[in-house]
Amino acid sequence: MAGELEGRVALVTGAGRGIGAAIARGYAERGALVVGTARSEDQLRELAATAPERISTATADLRDEASLAGLVDQVVERHGRIDILVNNAGVAPAADFTTEPVEQWRATLAVNVVAPMALAQAAGRHFIAQGGGKIINVASTTGLRGKPGLVGYSTSKGAVMRFTESLAAEWARHNIQVNCIAPGAFATDAQSAVLESPDLLNRRVRRIPAKRMGDVSELVPLACLLAAPGSDFITGSIFVIDGGESGKL
């Protein structure tokens, strides 16, 4: 619904492409002022060009813990407040666990778990002071069920789900809602190897009851609901969007 986020200020990580870019654009279309972050300046320029009056950007490396609180401060300095935090950025390095280096696990956890924690903590201080706020964490169905070759990623996304539930319980009294979206197979750059191979794509789609991969636009309505006043009594929930894949026997 146009205008449902009018006057709200959102920070969206991993906004340069895919799910993050779709959510950032969706929020802007519904009236929010959005600060999108990513490491790629080119991608951010493309994002801002879609709605320059409502979308601004900030380059950020979420592995740099020292800069995370400052990122939230940038949003508040720019717009006077922050109402919505979307922790979308993530990395998913594939590896044989037998030889996967500990350093790669640390890097995965830094982006997928530590950064959402630090950003939520920084944003939460503002939320508590202003009487409420929204946090939407983007996980994955691999956080529900492990996936071979992605042990570190699956572990990190499972942690994001428990983080969502625990923080929601702790901060509900402050009128802060914390929820999680767990996408399944979506047609994004991260799935390029599958999308570019008819054989791999066919095998992937056969496992999905809906018989197709999702489009990132299909995540936007839920992300908007969870950011809007209509979801003020929804917190600590994990919303799976996967065409029925994780629900089948």
- The per-residue pLDDT for range 73-119, each reduced to its tens digit, is 999 999 999 999 999 999 999 999 999 999 999 999 999 999 999 99
The pLDDT value given to residue 25 = 97
Average pLDDT over residues 120-145: 96
What are the sequence ranges of the domains in the chain? 9-241
Q: Which residue is associated with the tokens 């529900």?
A: 144
Q: Which amino acid, 49?
A: A
The pLDDT value given to residue 67 = 82
Whole-structure pTM value: 0.94
CA 7/CA 3 separation, integer angstroms: 9
Alpha carbon 163 to chain centroid distance? Answer: 13
Active site residues: 153
Q: What is the full DSSP assignment across 151-180?
A: HHHHHHHHHHHHHHHHHHHHHGGGTEEEEE
CA 53/CA 57 separation, integer angstroms: 12
Q: Is 229 exposed, middle or buried (0-12, 13-18, 19+ CB in 10 A)?
A: exposed
Q: Is 232 exposed, middle or buried (0-12, 13-18, 19+ CB in 10 A)?
A: exposed
Bridge partners of residue 176, in order along the sequence: 133
Q: Residue 183: in which H helix or E strand, if any? A: strand 176-183
Structure confidence at residue 186 as a pLDDT band (50, 70, 90): confident
What would the two tokens of residue 233 be?
């009594």
Q: Where are the alpha helices (DSSP H) in 51-99?
A: 68-79
Average pLDDT over residues 191-220: 83
Q: Residue 55: in which H helix or E strand, if any? A: strand 55-59
Regarding the domain delimited by 9-241, which CATH topology (the fold level of the hierarchy) does it fall under? Rossmann fold (3.40.50)
Structure confidence at residue 195 as a pLDDT band (50, 70, 90): low
CA 2/CA 98 separation, integer angstroms: 50
The pLDDT value given to residue 226 = 98
Q: Residue 33: in which H helix or E strand, if any? A: strand 33-38
Average pLDDT over residues 41-46: 94
* Confidence check: pLDDT of 205 > 90: no
* Confidence check: pLDDT of 249 > 60: no
Average pLDDT over residues 42-53: 95
The pLDDT value given to residue 183 = 95
The pLDDT value given to residue 172 = 98
* Confidence check: pLDDT of 153 > 70: yes
